[in-house]
Amino acid sequence: MYKPVYYESESFIVFLDIRPLLPGHSLVAPKRHTLYITELNDKELIELRDLLGYVLPKLLRAYGADSYNLSINGGEHAGMVVRHLHIHIVPRSASDPMQGRIVTFYSLLQGERRKYAKDVGKELDRLRRIFRYKGKGTQRRV
């Protein structure tokens, strides 16, 4: 399958999305088959961080953008269509045509936010129990 790759590291490739939301919409994908970001090992996670630190500023400069969206669809119910981990990078600017749509999207969510707001306290208590969070700095993994 043709992929318009424009950058490559030891473990990742970066290429243009074939159905871009905006100009410069790119994907970062591991060369090793993984479905979820949690399947990356420590070396790959460090490499991914370094890759993003290198690619993002150059990509933004190339498209005259000052902002970006990073997005991962982790699993079928989150919209994952391609069954391989990939991270979307979408360069953004004040003049991009998606600006109005984003505001509209968040406006539509207002009703849903109100509906679930009353349950936030219960959810917070539940998550603090799960993560054994006591509110004292960094928690270690159990």
111 and 42 both lie in a single domain: no
> What strand order describes the sheet that includes 67-71?
5-8, 12-16, 26-30, 87-92, 67-71
54 and 102 both lie in a single domain: no
Domains in the chain, number: 2
Say if 138 falls within a structural domain.
Answer: no
Tens digit of each residue's pLDDT (9 = 90 or more) over 28-83: 999 999 999 999 999 999 999 999 999 999 999 999 999 999 999 988 888 888 99
Q: How many CA atoms lie within 13 A of 44 on its CB side?
A: 17
Tens digit of each residue's pLDDT (9 = 90 or more) over 76-100: 888 888 999 999 999 999 888 888 7
CA torsion sign, 45 to 69 to 140 to 54?
positive
Say if 40 falls within a structural domain.
Answer: yes
Tens digit of each residue's pLDDT (9 = 90 or more) over 104-130: 656 666 666 666 666 777 777 877 888
Say if 15 falls within a structural domain.
Answer: yes
Residue positions annotated with a catalytic role = 86
77 and 118 both lie in a single domain: no
Res. 137: pLDDT tops 60: no
Provide the residue range defining the domain that includes 119. Answer: 98-132
59 and 73 both lie in a single domain: yes
